[in-house]
């Protein structure tokens, strides 16, 4: 049998040098006259081990990483094509602690095979969910999704089944499924990883959403910064269409569903669902007032399901294994699994899919291994640029929508950014206000004007100008933004600001005191 070598072509792995490693392996094979098949897979998500090269051996797959081009000669000398020992040897991928501790439902196939092989997708259970869905009445598909407890993974955590039911129950000559792949939150890459590593699972999820709601057309709105994801999704859609997964008769059924990929122009606010719909329609990406909900009047005024990539990509496993199976994972009202993305100043950065319920401390210390710098962890921002900063004192918070809300935080798209003790939380609070000022769509005053005033007032605090009075002003301003903004950009910017002030008051002391303390 010709040996198979797996080298990720995922953009995270490419950024870490996977292409150069692939070239070096090809060259070495040629020079040694050895025949082998190179498969370009996605990433399994342990970025601290990328580029992670795997070899299929008689005893299963063996991983090596992080591999540098300079390692390639010695890898061949060590007999890596048959799993030989080497300083980069990691053993069976499933046994590597970072993977062994995960519960992979949504990402079960990601990073294992060629992402564009539909046969490989099917061989690992792909399309079973869609097959079940085409044999069911739309209302029963919606019921399954509702009973699974799946909530939107884009940020707001709204129950997916309820959203789908509204679209199903709304009359319309045309309905749409829109997939939100704008993924603008800091520390997040789950959407990108699955679109590059297992694109058919998203296509399958969207087709199921179409069948469940009566929508025959779907759009995936992908941020322009994701050219690899755009390329892979376009190719996967063409393959799915050719294979009859998409088209007038989905899997030979009377249901029609087709989809297209659209590229955004690079605005954080275009991840907000109504702004995204405007952008898809070719208009400026400005937030729309709600009501009407997109489920009633969405894209081009038609009933529209708009869901995050991970929400949609989690549906096939629910339709394959059943609502009860999915619901069995998790805690409280946070059911199933969540792909946590660990980034920032952290030792073991990557994507970790697990049932809801791990504490923040377990995620940062046990899974993430603490900071990359080796210094103590000072703060963790959870939920992107609009998420709160958590100090160590709150590391017992379980990863659960309600538990985070109780502590004035949010899970958002489940990205977490780790900071060590050199972080200046006043600077981070200012950054949050500045981010809001730059990204504001300008539609409402608390966000458009408030964020700019917020930067100015925090600059006064930093300069030691009437610090106490100005901090009170920031608090007042945050309340105005929280309760007076039209969307969550202005409405949630107060979270990183206020959590910095309340958990790290020492960083907001007047400048002379700060200088004296340093």
- Find which of ligand FMN, ligand SF4, none residue 443 binds, CB within 5 to 8 Å per kind: ligand SF4
Q: Does 303 bind ligand FMN (CB under 6 A)?
A: no
Burial of 37 (0-12, 13-18, 19+ CB in 10 A): exposed
State the minimum distance, in angstroms, from the CB of residue 303 to ligand SF4: 23
Cis previous bond, 228, omega within 30: no
Cβ proximity to ligand FMN: between 130 and 487 the closer is 487
- Find which of ligand FMN, ligand SF4, none residue 441 binds, CB within 5 to 8 Å per kind: ligand SF4
How many CB atoms sit inside 10 A of residue 36's CB? Answer: 17
- Find which of ligand FMN, ligand SF4, none residue 182 binds, CB within 5 to 8 Å per kind: ligand FMN
Euclidean distance between CA atoms 456 and 443, whole angstroms: 21
Q: Choose among 338, 427, 337: nearest CA to 381.
A: 427
How many CB atoms sit inside 10 A of residue 212's CB? Answer: 28
Residues β-bridged to residue 37: 4
Instruction: Name the DSSP letter for residue 272.
Output: S
Cβ proximity to ligand SF4: between 268 and 399 the closer is 268
Cβ proximity to ligand SF4: between 233 and 441 the closer is 441
Euclidean distance between CA atoms 494 and 500, whole angstroms: 10
Euclidean distance between CA atoms 221 and 391, whole angstroms: 35
- Find which of ligand SF4, ligand FMN, none residue 183 binds, CB within 5 to 8 Å per kind: ligand FMN
State the minimum distance, in angstroms, from the CB of residue 290 to ligand SF4: 11
Q: Which stretch binds ligand FMN (CB under 6 A): 146-154, 278-286, 394-402, 460-468?
A: 146-154
Phi/psi at 378 (5° precision): -100, -45
Q: Which stretch binds ligand FMN (CB under 6 A): 49-57, 333-341, 396-404, 482-490?
A: 482-490
Residues β-bridged to residue 339: 353
State the minimum distance, in angstroms, from the CB of residue 439 to ligand FMN: 7
Phi/psi at 353 (5° precision): -90, 130
State the minimum distance, in angstroms, from the CB of residue 300 to ligand FMN: 18
State the minimum distance, in angstroms, from the CB of residue 192 to ligand FMN: 11
Cβ proximity to ligand SF4: between 266 and 376 the closer is 266
Q: Does 487 bind ligand FMN (CB under 6 A)?
A: yes
Q: Does 323 bind ligand FMN (CB under 6 A)?
A: no
Contact at 8 Å (CB) between 457 and 473? yes
State the minimum distance, in angstroms, from the CB of residue 221 to ligand FMN: 9
C-alpha distance from residue 426 to each of 186, 494, 498, 501, 504 (Å) = 18, 13, 10, 8, 9
Give the chain's end-to-end CA distance (angstroms, integer). Answer: 64
Euclidean distance between CA atoms 478 and 494, whole angstroms: 5
Cβ proximity to ligand FMN: between 272 and 420 the closer is 272
Q: Does 308 bind ligand FMN (CB under 6 A)?
A: yes
State the minimum distance, in angstroms, from the CB of residue 146 to ligand SF4: 29
- Find which of ligand FMN, ligand SF4, none residue 444 binds, CB within 5 to 8 Å per kind: ligand SF4
**Of positions 49, 416, 488, 498, contacts ligand FMN by CB under 6 A:** 488
Euclidean distance between CA atoms 122 and 113, whole angstroms: 11
- Find which of ligand SF4, ligand FMN, none residue 485 binds, CB within 5 to 8 Å per kind: ligand SF4
Interface contacts to ligand SF4, rule CB under 6 A? 269, 287, 440-444, 447-448, 485-487, 489-490
- Find which of ligand FMN, ligand SF4, none residue 503 binds, CB within 5 to 8 Å per kind: none
C-alpha distance from residue 249 to each of 118, 125, 246, 343 (Å) = 18, 21, 7, 42
Q: Choose among 6, 10, 349: nearest CA to 192.
A: 10
Cβ proximity to ligand SF4: between 71 and 439 the closer is 439
Q: Which stretch binds ligand FMN (CB under 6 A): 138-146, 147-155, 238-246, 258-266?
A: 147-155
Cβ proximity to ligand FMN: between 461 and 487 the closer is 487
Q: Choose among 405, 268, 304, 317: nearest CA to 132.
A: 317
Q: Which stretch binds ligand FMN (CB under 6 A): 149-157, 166-174, 278-286, 418-426?
A: 149-157
Residues β-bridged to residue 259: 218
Q: Looking only at residues 179 through 208 of this chain, which bind ligand FMN when binding is defined by CB under 6 A? A: 180, 182-184
- Find which of ligand FMN, ligand SF4, none residue 311 binds, CB within 5 to 8 Å per kind: ligand FMN
SS3 466: coil
State the minimum distance, in angstroms, from the CB of residue 441 to ligand SF4: 3
How many CB atoms sit inside 10 A of residue 158's CB? Answer: 12
Number of residues that bind ligand FMN (CB under 6 A): 22
Q: Does 213 bind ligand FMN (CB under 6 A)?
A: no
**Of positions 115, 205, 271, 336, contacts ligand FMN by CB under 6 A:** 271
Burial of 375 (0-12, 13-18, 19+ CB in 10 A): middle
Please report, to the nearest 10 degrees, the dihedral formed by the alpha carbons of residues 450, 454, 456, 459 taken in order.
Answer: 180
Q: Choose among 294, 314, 264, 296: nearest CA to 152.
A: 314
H or E element in which residue 74 lies? helix 72-77
State the minimum distance, in angstroms, from the CB of residue 299 to ligand FMN: 13
Binding site for ligand FMN (CB under 6 A): 152-156, 158, 180, 182-184, 268-269, 271-273, 306-308, 311, 487-489
């Amino acid at each position: 049998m010709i040996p198979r070598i797996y080298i990720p072509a995922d953009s995270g792995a490419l950024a870490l040098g996977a292409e150069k490693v692939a070239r070096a392996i090809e060259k070495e094979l040629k020079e040694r006259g050895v025949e082998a098949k190179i498969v370009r897979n996605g990433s399994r998500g342990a970025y601290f081990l990328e580029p992670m090269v795997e070899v299929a051996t008689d005893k299963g797959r063996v991983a090596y990483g992080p591999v540098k081009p300079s390692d390639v000669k010695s890898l061949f000398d060590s007999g890596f094509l048959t799993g030989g020992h080497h300083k980069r040897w990691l053993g069976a991928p499933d046994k590597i602690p970072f993977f062994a501790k995960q519960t992979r439902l949504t990402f079960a196939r990601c990073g294992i095979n060629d992402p564009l092989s539909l046969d490989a997708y099917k061989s690992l259970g792909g399309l079973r969910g869609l097959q079940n869905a085409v044999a069911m009445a739309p209302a029963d598909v919606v019921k399954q999704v509702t009973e699974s407890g799946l909530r939107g993974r884009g940020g707001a955590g709204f129950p997916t089944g309820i959203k789908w039911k509204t679209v199903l129950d709304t009359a319309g000559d045309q309905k749409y499924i829109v997939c939100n792949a704008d993924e603008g939150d800091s520390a997040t890459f789950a959407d990108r990883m699955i679109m590059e590593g297992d694109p058919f699972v998203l296509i399958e999820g969207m087709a199921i959403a179409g069948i469940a709601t009566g929508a025959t057309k779907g759009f995936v709105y992908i941020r322009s910064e994701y050219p690899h994801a755009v390329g892979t999704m376009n190719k996967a859609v063409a393959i799915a269409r050719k294979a009859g997964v998409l088209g007038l008769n989905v899997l030979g059924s009377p249901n029609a569903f087709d989809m297209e990929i659209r590229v955004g122009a690079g605005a954080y606010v275009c991840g907000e669902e109504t702004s995204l719909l405007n952008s898809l329609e070719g208009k400026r990406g400005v937030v729309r007032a709600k009501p009407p909900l997109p489920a009633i009047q969405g894209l081009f005024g038609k009933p529209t399901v708009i869901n995050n990539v991970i929400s949609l990509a989690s549906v096939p496993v629910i339709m394959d294994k059943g609502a009860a199976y999915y619901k069995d994972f998790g805690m409280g009202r946070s059911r199933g699994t969540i792909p946590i993305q660990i980034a920032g100043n952290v030792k073991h950065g990557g994507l970790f899919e697990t049932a809801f319920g791990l504490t923040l401390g377990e995620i940062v210390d046990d899974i993430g291994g603490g900071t990359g710098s080796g210094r103590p962890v000072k703060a963790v921002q959870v939920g992107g640029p609009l998420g709160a900063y958590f100090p160590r004192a709150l590391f017992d918070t379980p990863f659960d929508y309600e538990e985070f809300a109780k502590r004035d935080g949010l899970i958002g798209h489940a990205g977490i950014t780790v900071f060590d003790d050199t972080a200046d939380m006043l600077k981070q609070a200012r950054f949050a206000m500045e981010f809001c000022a730059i990204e504001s769509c300008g539609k409402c005053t608390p966000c458009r004007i408030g964020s700019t005033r917020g930067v100015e007032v925090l600059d006064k605090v930093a300069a030691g100008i009437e610090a106490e009075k100005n901090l009170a002003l920031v608090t007042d301003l945050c309340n105005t933004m929280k309760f007076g903004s039209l969307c969550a950009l202005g409405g949630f910017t107060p979270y990183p600001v206020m959590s910095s002030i309340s958990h790290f008051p020492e960083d907001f002391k007047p400048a002379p005191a700060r200088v004296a303390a340093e």
